[in-house]
């Protein structure tokens, strides 16, 4: 299994929170390292919180899946979100999402201010 870190050293690894944001899901509530989402896997009929994401551990738990719920890491989430895709297809989809989010999050380059000379010659005299 591959890691979702980019080849460059300054890029951040893909997190569940950034993946959910890229997929169009916004948290209903946030508390330090916990992000709570409404139903991500089913039909969203109300804002009942069923998906909890721990950003520090990069893990998730959804109480609406199965009798006892279901959870895991980033790859477990991707397998549950895209059940019809193979592991290789999921990995490529995650890499694509990471590249897109890295382009959006990259800070803009600071521009140097251009100094425009602003003076007028009043008179010209001889030296000495």
pLDDT tens digit sequence for 26-80:
888 898 889 998 878 776 556 677 889 998 899 999 888 877 788 899 999 999 9
Per-residue pLDDT at 106: 61
Element (H, E) at 1: none
Non-local CB neighbours of 52 within 8 Å, separated by 6+ positions: 34, 35, 36, 37, 60, 61, 62, 63
Q: Which domains does the chain have, with CATH numbers?
A: 16-98 (3.90.580.10)
- Give pTM, 2 decimals: 0.67
């Amino acid at each position: 299994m591959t890691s979702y870190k980019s080849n460059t050293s300054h890029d951040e690894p893909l997190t569940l929170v950034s993946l959910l944001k890229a997929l169009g899901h916004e948290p209903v509530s946030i508390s330090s390292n916990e992000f709570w989402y409404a139903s991500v896997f089913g039909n969203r009929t109300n804002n009942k919180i069923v998906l909890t994401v721990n950003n520090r551990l990069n893990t998730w738990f959804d109480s609406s899946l199965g009798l006892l719920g279901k959870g895991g890491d980033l790859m477990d989430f991707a397998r549950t979100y895209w059940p019809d895709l193979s592991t290789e297809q999921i990995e490529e989809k995650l890499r694509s999402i990471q590249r897109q989010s890295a382009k959006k999050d990259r800070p803009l380059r600071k521009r140097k201010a251009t100094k425009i000379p602003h003076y007028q010659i009043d008179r010209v005299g001889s030296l000495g």
